A and B are shown apart, each in its own frame.
Chain A
Amino acid sequence: MESNNSRKKLIKKLRKHQHTVGKETGVVCTDSPTKNLVICNTGQINGLTEEIIVEHFEKYGHLDRVLLVPGKSCAFLSYKDTSSASEALEAVSGKLNIAQDGKPIFLSFVEALPEIRDAKIWGRLPPGLRIITNFVSEEEEARLLALCQFEDGGSMKHRLVKHYGYEFRYDINNVDKEKPLSEGIPQECDFLWRRLPFEFRPNQLTINRYNPGQGIPSHVDTHSAFGDPILSLSLSSDVVMEFKKDETICVLLPRRSLLVMAGESRYEWTHGIVPRTFDFYNDEGGCHCFKRGVRVSFTFRKIRKGGCNCSYKLQCDSQTATKIIESDLLAHKLENQHVHDVYEDIAGHFSETRHTPWPNVLNFVQKLEIGAVLVDVGCGNGKYFGHNRQIVELGTDRSFKLNNLCKHRGFEVFTGNCLNLPLKNSSADAVISIAVIHHLSTPERRLKALKEIVRILRIGGEALIYVWAKQQIKNDEKSTYIKQDRKNRKKEVIGSVTKEEVSVGEGVTLPVHTNRANFTHSDVLVPWKLKGEEQERTFLRFYHVFEEGELESLCQSIGNVSIVKSYYDQGNYCVQFVKNNK
């Protein structure tokens, strides 16, 4: 009786799950055996991986396909024959506890596997990519591995790295071409070039050592730093590498094989290795899984002389960097359309989202002495006012609506432009300008705004400047901007693949940034989404995101200032300086 009851319960549960699968994926569940199975109640979203599926299911027969559906809590698999699928269902359904909280999974036959648009692709290579298997023998592999004795400590967090020829600097995503390293590519590598089916002689080598579980975030090698092609020799372990453009292609890099990235695959596709200890791959022979060993990769590149002029402009730092805004007239027009007008449109929503002052700015304001005159250049809604009752606060902003909000909150404000402050020389004891100067579109205008701040400061007065940093991840920590995206909280982020460009006049186009991602360009349009009554509207704000040291050197070029502090704060570069006598 009891077993009959629990059986009924199980069937009821299974029916519920089958219904959900049908609703979520459109796949028809069936009770008559097929080769295809669905795991109804756990999937990618619950942390299920291909590896786990292979581990538990390969014992019942030859697995043809494993399919995880992005963002769903179900997964599919296909056996070569129906009997294997039946055997698996019988043995596992309601019994194998790999669902969330260690609960059992429920299986059902399905008529066919769903067509998934963004499923990972196997069996095809990105254009320009090739893999030469058995490029070195085991003996040669051993000789190459003996070259790299990593000293403990001198490493990156994710993997051990050593550079020859030139150092690749991860902070600026580039090499210093003026400063070659004393140690060039070891002679022991020379035999490799003769074996290449094309002429190539690299002058930079990066050796990476990955322990099982370590990976590398998806990235495109900086165009301006290196030429085409890029070679990577895999030693000591196989690994699966993911290539992404509009789709994700998975490629097995066998131990002792040479990966050649040329053309489109070098310039336009990102490549990366998912940090995990097992790898899953799919070939004519079906689905396989293997445990990763320690893998060492030798990446050979040639330093590029001059800029890059490839035809893959969206990923090209050289070509976006040269597409700078040259005329002041265009800069003016751009800032009107993509800064001033946008702030008028989004003022209300913007102000609602700007209520928490940055602690370091607050600290600067609260330390000001009684009677000090504080000017906030680009004060917005007056977020930094009202925190020190003993000072004079005067704000200025370009936005009428933000000024109205600021005034409404009881603060003194005038409408003005930070390039021409209508204030007397030396009238301020302190100035703050938070997240303002990055809205100016030429270096000259950014410098002019800083000079205006210095002009209105009294000698001995201090200013605090915040600008958005191009590096949104520093010392392995993501900025709050990046962390705000739930999807990014766990993922590693290196760059976003920018897809859209907008013309801003005079033949200049700017890339549209993907929100909550790291920046790939210095001059970008950043979307602000505003929910309207009927539809969502997107406004594009212009930003010049700063490189490390850029704000500092801009301030230093003014002459009569000394930098008190220079730091990185939650995705911003910040400089505090004091005005000197001369």
Chain B
Amino acid sequence: MKLLTHNMLTSKCMKVVTVGYPLGINASDVRVSEVDFNPDFVAKIIPKVDWNVLYNAAQSIGQLEGLPKDVVENYENDHEFLKKAHHALLEIDIINGELICPETGRKFPINNGIPNLLLNEDEV
């Protein structure tokens, strides 16, 4: 699971949860793999990302690698910033671990890079 995906996931669909965002991460196996860098593409994604959530997620799994705490001004032309964003969003892959609902503590397992967000009948 990439951190870009984590940035979109929520446990709000559980009946007792009001926000369910962001989900906590417990990572037991993290893999970093190189992905082709396309600065124009990354620049288009930045406005869609909750930067604070991305930053905290990277930090919580020890993968900050110099990621700035805030989006810099004029980021579209900041090659270095885009490269770091690219790395955090697309190159970090959580292979095994779990996601944690911030309100209920419900854990969602991540196996082979695939988080399982299925809920039981009594949870929806």
Contact indicator B117/A415 (Cβ below 8 Å): yes
Q: Hey, what's the 0/1 contact readout for A366-391 against B, CB within 8 Å counting as 1? A: 00011111000000000000000110
Contact indicator B114/A403 (Cβ below 8 Å): yes
Q: Is B78 positioned at the interface, with any CB of A under 8 Å from its CB? A: no
Contact indicator A407/B118 (Cβ below 8 Å): no
Query: Given A373-B48, A414-B1, A420-B124: A404 and B118 within 8 A (CB)?
Result: no
Contact indicator B41/A394 (Cβ below 8 Å): no
Q: Is A416 positioned at the interface, with any CB of B under 8 Å from its CB? A: yes
Tell which of B13, B21, B115, B121 touches A414, judged by Cβ atoms closer than 8 Å. Answer: B115
Q: Is B119 positioned at the interface, with any CB of A under 8 Å from its CB? A: yes
Considering the complex, give the chain B residue whose CB is closest to the CB of A423. B8
Q: Hey, what's the 0/1 contact readout for B100-124 against A, CB within 8 Å counting as 1? A: 0000000000001111111101001
Contact indicator A420/B48 (Cβ below 8 Å): no
Tell which of B8, B11, B117 touches A394, judged by Cβ atoms closer than 8 Å. Answer: B8
Contact indicator B124/A371 (Cβ below 8 Å): no
Q: Hey, what's the 0/1 contact readout for A403-427 against B, CB within 8 Å counting as 1? A: 1100100001111110111111001
Measured between alpha carbons, how far is A149 from B38 in the docked complex, in Å? 69
- List B residues 76-91 near A (Cβ within 8 Å): none
Contact indicator A417/B45 (Cβ below 8 Å): no
Contact indicator B8/A427 (Cβ below 8 Å): yes
Contact indicator A415/B118 (Cβ below 8 Å): yes
Q: Is B10 positioned at the interface, with any CB of A under 8 Å from its CB? A: yes
Residues on B with C-beta less than 8 A from A403 are: 114
Contact indicator B48/A413 (Cβ below 8 Å): no
Which size class do B's interface residues fall under? 20 to 34
Contact indicator A414/B48 (Cβ below 8 Å): no
Considering the complex, give the chain B residue whose CB is closest to the CB of A332. B121
Measured between alpha carbons, how far is A506 from B116 in the docked complex, in Å? 31
Tell which of B10, B21, B44, B118 touches A371, judged by Cβ atoms closer than 8 Å. Answer: B44
Residues on B with C-beta less than 8 A from A415 are: 114-118
Considering the complex, give the chain B residue whose CB is closest to the CB of A452. B13
Q: Hey, what's the 0/1 contact readout for B17-32 against A, CB within 8 Å counting as 1? A: 0000100000000000
Query: Given A370-B41, A422-B13: A394 and B118 within 8 A (CB)?
Result: no
Q: Is A308 positioned at the interface, with any CB of B under 8 Å from its CB? A: no
Measured between alpha carbons, how far is A389 from B40 in the docked complex, in Å? 12
Considering the complex, give the chain A residue whose CB is closest to the CB of B23. A422
Q: Is B58 positioned at the interface, with any CB of A under 8 Å from its CB? A: no
Measured between alpha carbons, how far is A443 from B1 in the docked complex, in Å? 33
Q: Is A521 positioned at the interface, with any CB of B under 8 Å from its CB? A: no
Query: Given A373-B48, A404-B112, A424-B21: A414 and B41 within 8 A (CB)?
Result: no
Q: Is B59 positioned at the interface, with any CB of A under 8 Å from its CB? A: no
Q: How far is the CB of A460 from chain B (nearest CB, A)?
A: 13
Contact indicator A370/B9 (Cβ below 8 Å): no
Q: Is B5 positioned at the interface, with any CB of A under 8 Å from its CB? A: yes
Contact indicator A394/B5 (Cβ below 8 Å): yes
Tell which of A404, A419, A421, A422 touches B114, judged by Cβ atoms closer than 8 Å. Answer: A404
Residues on A with C-beta less than 8 A from B41 are: 370-371, 390
- Across the A-B interface, how many residue pairs have beta carbons closer than 8 Å? 73
Considering the complex, give the chain A residue whose CB is closest to the CB of B46. A371
Tell which of A392, A398, A423 touches B45, judged by Cβ atoms closer than 8 Å. Answer: A392
Contact indicator B117/A414 (Cβ below 8 Å): yes
Residues on B with C-beta less than 8 A from A373 are: 8, 45, 48
Residues on B with C-beta less than 8 A from A369 are: 44
Considering the complex, give the chain B residue whose CB is closest to the CB of A416. B117
Residues on A with C-beta less than 8 A from B43 are: 371
Q: Is B4 positioned at the interface, with any CB of A under 8 Å from its CB? A: yes
Considering the complex, give the chain B residue whose CB is closest to the CB of A391. B41
Measured between alpha carbons, how far is A184 from B113 in the docked complex, in Å? 67
Q: Hey, what's the 0/1 contact readout for B37-72 against A, CB within 8 Å counting as 1? A: 010110111001000000000000000000000000
Residues on B with C-beta less than 8 A from A394 are: 5, 8
Q: How far is the CB of A368 from chain B (nearest CB, A)?
A: 11
Contact indicator B45/A407 (Cβ below 8 Å): no
Contact indicator B13/A420 (Cβ below 8 Å): yes
Q: How far is the CB of B14 from chain A (nearest CB, A)?
A: 8
Contact indicator B10/A422 (Cβ below 8 Å): yes
Contact indicator A421/B13 (Cβ below 8 Å): yes
Residues on A with C-beta less than 8 A from B118 are: 398, 415-417
Query: Given A390-B41, A416-B118: A422 and B11 within 8 A (CB)?
Result: yes
Residues on B with C-beta less than 8 A from A407 are: 112-114
Q: Hey, what's the 0/1 contact readout for A525-551 against B, CB within 8 Å counting as 1? A: 000000000000000000000000000
Considering the complex, give the chain A residue whose CB is closest to the CB of B8. A427
Q: How far is the CB of A352 from chain B (nearest CB, A)?
A: 20
Q: How far is the CB of A406 from chain B (nearest CB, A)?
A: 9
Contact indicator B38/A392 (Cβ below 8 Å): no
Tell which of A400, A412, A420 touches B5, judged by Cβ atoms closer than 8 Å. Answer: A412
Contact indicator A390/B38 (Cβ below 8 Å): yes
Measured between alpha carbons, how far is A394 from B113 in the docked complex, in Å? 13
Residues on A with C-beta less than 8 A from B115 are: 414-415
Query: Given A370-B44, A371-B45, A414-B5: A422 and B121 within 8 A (CB)?
Result: no
Measured between alpha carbons, how far is A475 from B21 in the docked complex, in Å? 50
Tell which of A372, A392, A417 touches B119, judged by Cβ atoms closer than 8 Å. Answer: A417
Residues on A with C-beta less than 8 A from B121 are: 332
Tell which of A392, A398, A422 touches B9, judged by Cβ atoms closer than 8 Å. Answer: A422
Other than A414-B115, A421-B13, A422-B117, give 14 A-B pairs with Cβ distance below 8 A: A370-B40, A371-B40, A371-B48, A373-B8, A390-B41, A398-B118, A412-B1, A412-B4, A415-B118, A419-B124, A422-B9, A422-B10, A423-B10, A424-B10
Interface of A with B (CB < 8 Å)?
A: 332, 369-373, 389-390, 392, 394, 398, 400, 403-404, 407, 412-417, 419-424, 427
List 13 contacting pairs A-B, 8 Å CB cutoff, sorted by A: A371-B41, A390-B38, A390-B41, A394-B5, A414-B114, A415-B115, A415-B116, A419-B124, A420-B13, A422-B12, A424-B9, A424-B10, A424-B21
Sorted nearest first, the 5 A-B pairs with minimum C-beta distance are A371-B44, A420-B13, A422-B117, A415-B116, A427-B8
